[in-house]
Structure 1
Amino acid sequence: RLKRTRLGLDDFESLKVIGRGAFGEVRLVQKKDTGHVYAMKILRKADMLEKEQVGHIRAERDILVQADSLWVVKMFYSFQDKQNLYLLMEFLPGGDMMTLLMKKDTLSEEEAQFYVAETVLAIDSIHQLGFIHRDIKPDNLLLDSKGHVKLSDFGLCTGLKKAHRTEFYRNLSHNLTNDFTSQNMNSKRKAETWKRNRRQLAFSTVGTPDYIAPEVFMQTGYNKLCDWWSLGVIMYEMLIGYPPFCSETPQETYKKVMNWKETLIFPPEVPISDRAKHLILRLEPHLTSPVVIKHLILRLEPHLYSSNTSSSG
């Protein structure tokens, strides 16, 4: 459970910066009185687009941290000052899925099966609590020392990033650079371009719309199926080397996502099995149902205990 003791920055020694994002950074810190090591997420209040969201974020976070789920990054303390919100989380030395995917060209289907299986169970566990994550992406899939998946950033991005808003794309200039497909890139060059731009996207306050379901953009009502859409996009990226709708600009990506029935294409030069293609398509919310997902969970669960691919490499 979240500890309510009164703490401040002086109670922790900063060891090093281990991550940076749009709204702040993550530091490896040590609590001075106990010697325990944590990941301290520092969120700059001034950079959050809607200040009134901070209270909502903290309330949602408090509920989730009390769930004590195997699949959720644990939070131990939180405090704030005039500038920042500080969240003390468990430190996961395996890094995140974004970094793993940037290191490797693609994952084998066996490796992808392991990570997808764990992420299915992680997403299902938060849905069982009555929550929708809304921002499932490789940056938010953290890996422990043995390579097992844990979800992070519950509610911390919801409503804060322009990337979730249709009007952001409508209001932007139409002077766009050509998207990837118009340059006739092969899959290898597309993957190289994506990886070159990827970390910059993670730092952007706009974020990347690549993993966001169409109905979240439309804001006409969505349900937990939007999280399964995001997992389908991630599985595609694991096997192909880049997400299915990636483009030179967020606006072009948005257009592709909204027109996904025409733009979701498997490049013929990247060999993946029909079974893998079928699973990616089943994760699109327009083609799935809670019954299908439950069947998927039951089918994938045994792989957690039989797979020896539980390493982040």
Structure 2
Amino acid sequence: MCVCTTSPGRCFAEEENPEAYARRGLHIQSEVEAYRRIGHACDYRKPGFEFLMQLEGLLANRYVDAFIFELMYADLRMLLNEGSIHRGNCPRMLAQMAIGIATLHSIGIIHRDIKPENILVDAKGNVKITDFGLSFVTKLQCPIPAGYDFTERGENNWQRGLVGTREYMAPEMISMSKTILEVDYFSLGCVFFEMLTGKTLFDIIDFELEQWIRAWNGGKSTQLWYLSGKIPNMDPRDPAIDLLRGLLCVDPVHRYGIARIIPHAYFLSEQDHQRSEFDFLEDAYNRRPIFNVIPEDSFSGTSTRYTFIPALRRQMLHDPDVYSDP
């Protein structure tokens, strides 16, 4: 069943097709492993964890599991579709996404499906990364080294192929099925482009990505020429364009990671140019709400809708056998 909400304080359960649930078995397993890891590692003294969705509970029967999460206002896809993302809020939201991704990497998780549908937004405009059904979780909780390729093998030496949503996949995932932490930053670049323009960068997937790869190989001037055709009235000196190019770098070795993102000029505060949006992360939940009410349906049709039931986190975060159904 799916837990949904239509107004504050109300929730209901929807039955889900058992066959569809069976097909999602692998995704469920990955998601449980990821939420268990996040729950064990969570330390709110570190700013990144507050931008990761935490599992609050579980509803389950023989056929389906429904995860229960904190109530959020909308997903980023819906806000983008409605044009509700003010350009001035982009640096703060992108900083939260970036530090959230870096926090995942620091505890041994590669998300592999960063996209607007998987970024939830609360009433104060703060983000939480969710949906870990396609994530890779290391066996031990430890930081993931840059560039390290995790090859997944299962029974009969089966190897997992392409993972993610193709419009947001990094070139190395599409061409070589690489699971490296850098794929999340390329996906973040695709999301950033949508926040700037309201459009999907690689909407004609293979053709558009191939055009970008050619532009990248042609050097900076060719890259800027390509982006100028995608971004109206683009100023090539805008720090946002440099950040976008860095995140969309075709070569993962030179792609911007968190070490290059944090000091970037794009995140400098408009009020205090000596401080970055990363300096204000701890103040995120002290902000005034920018959305006043929970709308009837503020989520895109392709994302899960979440509600919140105050309760202790379920034993499933600690007990791997909780999913066995007699």
Do both share a fold (TM > 0.5)? Answer: yes
Alignment of 1:103-118 (within 5 A): 103-104=82-83, 107-108=86-87, 110-118=88-96
Partner of 2:61: 81
- Residues 95 and 152 (structure 1 numbering): CA distance in 2 closer, same or farther, change over 3 Å? same
Structure 2 runs not aligned, ≥5 long:
43-48, 137-159, 216-222, 268-274, 293-326
Alignment of 1:201-216 (within 5 A): 208-216=165-173
1:281 to 225, 232, 245: 245
Q: CA deviation at 1:41?
A: 9.3
Contact preservation (8 Å) 2:34, 2:135: no
- Residues 267 and 71 (structure 1 numbering): CA distance in 2 closer, same or farther, change over 3 Å? same
Alignment of 1:10-25 (within 5 A): 25=2
Aligned AA (1:256): E
Instruction: Determine whether 1:47 maps to 2:20.
Output: yes
Partner of 2:5: 28
> What are the Cα deviations for residues 35-81 of structure 1, in whole angstroms up to 9, with x where unaligned?
98789898655225364554344233322233332111121112422
Q: CA deviation at 1:297?
A: 1.8
For 1:303 and 1:39, how far apart are their aligned partners in 2?
A: 38
Instruction: Determine whether 1:122 maps to 2:95.
Output: no
For 2:32 and 2:18, how far apart are their aligned partners in 1?
A: 13
TM-score after normalising by structure 1: 0.62
Q: CA deviation at 1:88?
A: 0.9
> What are the Cα deviations for residues 220-268 of structure 1, in whole angstroms up to 9, with x where unaligned?
4231111100111111111122121113xxxxx1343355313773244
Contact preservation (8 Å) 1:41, 1:89: no
What is the SS of the residue equivalent to 2:242?
A: helix
Partner of 1:303: 277
Contact preservation (8 Å) 2:59, 2:66: yes
Structure with the higher strand share, 1 or 2: 1
Partner of 1:224: 181
TM-score after normalising by structure 2: 0.60
For CA contacts below 8 A with separation 6 or more, give which structure has more relative contact order. 2
- Residues 276 and 65 (structure 1 numbering): CA distance in 2 closer, same or farther, change over 3 Å? same
Identical amino acids, percent of aligned pairs: 20
Q: CA deviation at 1:149?
A: 0.9
- Residues 63 and 42 (structure 1 numbering): CA distance in 2 closer, same or farther, change over 3 Å? farther
- Residues 276 and 245 (structure 1 numbering): CA distance in 2 closer, same or farther, change over 3 Å? same
Q: Which moved more, 1:121-130 or 1:256-265?
A: 256-265
Partner of 1:236: 193
For 2:124 and 2:52, how far apart are their aligned partners in 1?
A: 15
- Residues 44 and 230 (structure 1 numbering): CA distance in 2 closer, same or farther, change over 3 Å? farther
Q: CA deviation at 1:96?
A: 1.2
Aligned AA (2:33): A
- Residues 217 and 119 (structure 1 numbering): CA distance in 2 closer, same or farther, change over 3 Å? same
